[in-house]
Chains A and B, each alone.
Chain A
Amino acid sequence: MSEAKFEPRIVAFFCNWCTYLAADLAGISRMKYPPNARVIRVMCSGRIDPQFIVKAFANGADGVLIGGCHPGDCHYQEGNYKCLRRFTLLKRVIQEMGIEDERLRLEWISAAEGDRLRTVMFDMVEKVRALGPLNWKPAEEKAPVAEEVTA
């Protein structure tokens, strides 16, 4: 993949009530944005364990986007504040690991803000594209869950 055509891989953790719905709204409104992000739905941004983010970078993500409800608007009252605290610390930690802190981003996007979601997607993709590939730890195809897993 040549440098000019670098398409960043972005993992997005969206809360079920605000940002995931904003992405639904962007879809319903047929807004267009770049296809780089892979959305993982959690009920609340407060569920996002810092390990998820480190794991995402380790597995080849060039950027991680977290989307939650606006301050004061959390469906679970204050999960987004917990998320913000963890995010602030995590920003420092990933810098120490040699990852530019712009690769990790937290945005408050309400269910009504499909347009804002689109803007953030564009902006995130452009910013990470400018930073180039992360190559923090090349992703290897790990053997998925063992064959004998049974329910």
Chain B
Amino acid sequence: MRESNGAVRVGVYVCHCGSNIGAIVDCKAVAEYAAGLLHVAVARDYKYMCSDPGQELIQKDIEEHKLNRIVVASCSPHLHENTFRVATAKAGLNPYYLTMVNIREHDSWVHTDRAAATEKAKDLVRGAVRRVVLQRPLEKGRVPIDPKVLVVGGGIAGIHAALTLANAGKKVYLVEREPTIGGHMAMFDKTFPTLDCAACILTPKMSTVKNHPNITLWTYSEVESVSGYVGNYDVKVRRRTRYINEDLCSGCQECIAACVFKEPKFPDEFNQRLGKRKPIYLPFPQAVPQTPVIDPETCIEFKTGKCKKTCLEACADRHAIDFKLTDTVEEIRVGTIIVCTGFQAYDARRSPQFGYGIYPNVYTSLEIERLVNAAGPTAGEVVLRDGKTVPRSIGIIHCVGSRDENANRWCSRVCCMYSLKLAHLLKEHTDAEIFNFYIDMRTPGKSFEEFYQRLLNEGVHFIRGKVAEVTDWAADPSEEGKLVLRVEDTLLGVVRRIPVDMVVLSVGLEPHADAQDVRRMFNMTCSNEGFFLERHPKLAPVNTFTDGVFLAGCCQGPKDIPDTVAQAGAAAAEAMALIDAGYVEQEPNVAYVIEEDCSGCKTCIPMCPYSAITFREQDKKAEVNAVLCKGCGTCVAACPSGSIQQRLFEDDELFEELEGVLIHA
């Protein structure tokens, strides 16, 4: 490494970013101004500093002009700080002799007055020049990465991510809250636009997960706490008890048959409460694992303690059932985490104009998925809630809870396509007359538009307009006993009343009610909508702002199955990239103690949320563990004698920057 021996020589580079900066900030003037600042040896403006020639320009100047400090005024450091650090290092200069000035996101893109924006750029550059003069050479620390991965959520995203990693030889913990993996996809009947059966393509993957030697599957379990840092996360997982020992259970289901409830009696969650289950149950026939669950809310033994416990008898030779089992907590160490916690469907009761919960024959789309499914509560027979009448006419309302100021403002992306799919399936099952009510038809995927054309040819009606209400008020005798959809047909320009037997609400996707808790646990950020925020919408779509924590599936935003699988694969690859590197580099911006000045007052110790500061008894000084320190600098601000400093954010560096930005030209 070339260290500067002798005078400080700063190079300042002002980027036009095409016209992104240049149109508002007079980059040439900024460079000319910078050239006059103390210590500045070279100042240039250039079209694209991040381009190869731009970077080479810096490297050449370092060589020719013996530069030993670099200031790049361009975009946000979150975007290109690393680019320029690498470029600086390539020329033999310590990469921490670089400072970036954000004159795009914080200047040219947000201001309109050219003179004021140029002034601002000059001020910021002046601050940076004064700061960079004081900057010290730093080295990144290295921390080894634990090669095990935690995947949170066992829907299609989690399943795919876990399998990808496991197939590459990585050890994976897959944690799922429900008693079975499979997520929403397991509830679907067919998938659009190919109409292949969801179970047929999903269940083989589910059993592979169960049998994979590299995957530890914990269902009916939830992550309870996460601590540590990239490469070394300590995770506690609560495994809720099913009252059936998973290791002893053979999955014979004799216990279910033997239950004192001869007939299923309680609403079955997996079938959207359309069917019934017993207190001891398997959510669905292909559930993974094939271990039943006992629901203490409905089990007689738990409620009264006086059950005949016929289930125990049925399991007599295995003794898998034990009413005294309790939750257990597993403590694991992983290096990386993939969060795939999925979505929840919009609660249609929140839009009472569509009559869900008021009129029995108004259904949600998930209910219809179960109704048309051969393994569903009616064995695939589509009948109304009376259990016998086959609907002759069906209205499918798109965008329920989506694109609605009073509900969720976003488009849920999958509803148009699944509405088309349900229209096709319902027509196939009932030959009913089907009306789709849509705001805009959004079919921007592979073979999607073709599927829409197919439905048009199948004779399904499409009415463009937002349904105002679903009512059972009959305006004339032909509407008696029907559900009437009142809608403005915006193509005909008239208000229509369409009487039907069954209404299907295509409910949107939204973040889980507890998404905020999950976000805090994994130290992630949420977008305004409440979905987990990716590090960069274009260039880091599966990363989060926490290193080593990745995202996949609908917890990041609504998406269909192919996109979810692609994202899950990407998240797995990102995790593998970290694991295979073997270590992570740690930013050097950690705190350190200037021992001569430390009085041993211990003020700093409770400041640190990571317990990185300890008190050394032998000489009564504070000591910072650089591996544990995450570089927030809270202790630095608290130290009464200024004897803790933060590398790269030293007091003197920040004071210089502060003075620099405040001196008027």
Q: Do chains A and B touch in the complex (CB under 8 A)?
A: yes
**Which of A's residues lie within 8 Å of B, judged by CB?**
7, 9, 11, 17-18, 20-21, 23-24, 26-28, 30-35, 38-44, 46-52, 55-56, 59-61, 72-73, 75-79, 82, 86, 110-113, 118, 139, 141-142, 144-145, 147, 149-151
Would you call the interface of chain A mostly helix, strand, loop, or mixed? loop
What residues of A have a CB within 8 angstroms of the CB of B526 in the complex? 112
Which of A41, A72, A150 is within 8 Å of B77, CB to CB?
A41
Q: Does B312 have its Cβ within 8 Å of any Cβ on chain A?
A: no
List B contacts of A76 (CB < 8 A): 609, 630, 632, 634
A55 touches B632 (CB 8 A): no
Whether the pair B102, A39 counts as a contact (CB closer than 8 A) is yes
B-side contacts of A18, CB under 8 Å: 525
Q: Are A27 and B76 in contact (CB under 8 A)?
A: yes
Q: How far is the CA of A77 from the CA of B104 in the complex (A)?
A: 30
Residue B136 lies at the interface, judged by CB distance under 8 Å to chain A:
yes
Whether A38 pairs with B634 at a CB distance below 8 angstroms is no
B139 CB to nearest A CB, Å = 14
A46 touches B632 (CB 8 A): yes
Q: Report A-chain residues with C-beta under 8 Å of the C-beta of B513.
A: none
| Cβ–Cβ < 8 Å partners of B137 in chain A | 151
Residues B113 and A35 in contact, CB atoms below 8 Å apart: yes
The contact of B104 among A7, A27, A42, A44, by CB within 8 Å, is A27
Q: Contacts A49-B636, A150-B6: A42 and B109 contacting too (C-beta < 8 A)?
A: no
**B120, CB-defined interface residue at 8 Å:** yes
Provide the B5-17 mask, 1 if CB < 8 A to any CB of A, else 0: 1111000000000
Q: Are A47 and B646 in contact (CB under 8 A)?
A: yes
A99 to B523: give the CA distance in the assembly, Å. Answer: 37
**Min C-beta distance of A40 to chain B, whole Å:** 6
In the complex with contacts A43-B632, A112-B525, A112-B528, A38-B76 CB distance below 8 A: no
Interface residues of B (CB under 8 A from A): 3-8, 38-39, 68-69, 76-78, 97, 102, 104-107, 109-113, 116-117, 119-120, 123-124, 127, 130, 133-134, 136-137, 520, 523, 525-528, 533, 545-546, 589, 607, 609, 630-634, 636-638, 646, 649, 651, 654-664
Instruction: Let me know if A46 and B523 touch, CB within 8 A.
Output: no
Q: How far is the CB of A59 from chain B (nearest CB, A)?
A: 4
Contact between chains at B77 and A49 (CB < 8 Å)? no
Other than the given A46-B607, A56-B662, A75-B545, 4 more pairs (CB < 8 A) read A27-B104, A52-B655, A60-B662, A139-B662
Measured CA separation A142–B546 after assembly (Å)? 40
Which residue of A26, A82, A144, A147 has the most chain B CB atoms within 10 A of its CB atom? A144
The answer, among A11, A30, A41, for a CB contact under 8 Å with B109, is: A30
Q: List 17 A-B contacts (CB under 8 A).
A: A11-B658, A11-B662, A24-B78, A27-B109, A32-B110, A35-B107, A35-B113, A43-B631, A46-B637, A47-B646, A49-B651, A59-B658, A59-B659, A60-B664, A73-B525, A79-B632, A79-B633
A82 to chain B, nearest CB (A): 5
Q: How far is the CB of B446 from chain A (nearest CB, A)?
A: 29
What distance in Å separates the Cβ of A56 from its nearest Cβ neighbour in chain B? Answer: 6
**Chain B nearest Cβ from A60, distance in angstroms:** 5
With A46-B633, A150-B7 given, is the CB distance from A35 to B663 under 8 Å? no
In contact, B136 and A38 (Cβ under 8 angstroms):
no
Chain A residue numbers with a CB within 8 Å of B109 are: 26-28, 30
Of chain A, the residue at the smallest CB distance from B108 is A27
Contact of B112 among A32, A73, A113, A147 (CB under 8 A): A32
What B residues does A118 contact at CB under 8 A?
Answer: 110
Query: Which of B102, B112, B113, B661 interacts with A11 by CB under 8 Å?
Result: B661
The answer on a CB contact under 8 Å between A145 and B632 is no
Contact A35–B116 (Cβ < 8 Å): yes
Contact A55 B655 (CB under 8 A): yes
Q: Which of A44, A72, A78, A113 has the most C-beta atoms of chain B within 10 angstroms of its own C-beta? A: A44
| Given A33-B110, A86-B637, A40 and B117 contact (CB-CB distance below 8 Å) | no
Select from chain A the residue with minimum beta-carbon distance to B651. Answer: A49
Q: Report the separation of the CA atoms of residues A151 and B106 in the bound assembly, to the nearest whole angstrom.
A: 30
| B105 close to A27 (CB less than 8 A) | yes
In the complex, what distance in Å separates the CA atom of A43 from the CA atom of B660?
A: 20
Give the residue name and chain of the A residue nearest to B135 (CB). Answer: A151
A22 vs chain B, min Cβ distance (A): 10
Docked Cα-Cα span, A141 to B527, in Å, equals 43
* CB neighbours of B127 from chain A (8 A): 38, 40
A18 to B525, CA, bound (A): 9
Q: Are A150 and B8 in touch, CB under 8 angstroms?
A: yes
Is B105 in contact with A28, judged by CB distance below 8 angstroms? Answer: yes
- Within the assembled complex, what's the spacing in Å between the Cα atoms of A7 and B116? 10
Residues of chain B within 8 A of A145, CB atoms compared: 38-39, 130, 133-134, 656
Please, how many angstroms separate the alpha-carbon atoms of A92 and B385 in the complex? Answer: 67
Task: Give the distance in Å from the alpha carbon of A13 to the alpha carbon of B659 in the complex.
Answer: 13
CA distance A40 to B653 in the complex (A): 11
| Interchain CB contact under 8 A, A82 and B657 | no
Structural contact, A32 and B111, CB atoms closer than 8 A: yes
Nearest CB on B from A4, distance (A)? 16
Decide: A111 and B545 in contact? CB cutoff 8 A.
yes
CB distance from B182 to the nearest CB of A (A): 31
- In the assembled complex, the CB of A137 is this many whole angstroms from the nearest CB of chain B, namely 12
Enumerate the 3 nearest inter-chain pairs by beta-carbon distance, A residue then B residue, closest first.
Answer: A27-B105, A47-B633, A46-B634
State the CA gap A112–B111 with chains docked (Å): 20
B110, A144: Cβ atoms under 8 Å? no
Query: Once the chains bind, are A112 and B533 in contact (CB under 8 Å)?
Result: yes
Closest chain A residue to B136, Cβ basis: A151
**Docked CA distance A38–B566 (Å):** 41
Chain A residue numbers with a CB within 8 Å of B545 are 17, 75, 111
- Cβ–Cβ contact A23 & B105, under 8 A: yes
Most buried by A among B106, B116, B133: B106
B69 CB contacts on chain A under 8 angstroms: 151
In the assembled complex, which residues on chain A have CB atoms less than 8 Å from the CB atom of B136?
151
Question: Residue on B with the closest CB to A61?
Answer: B662
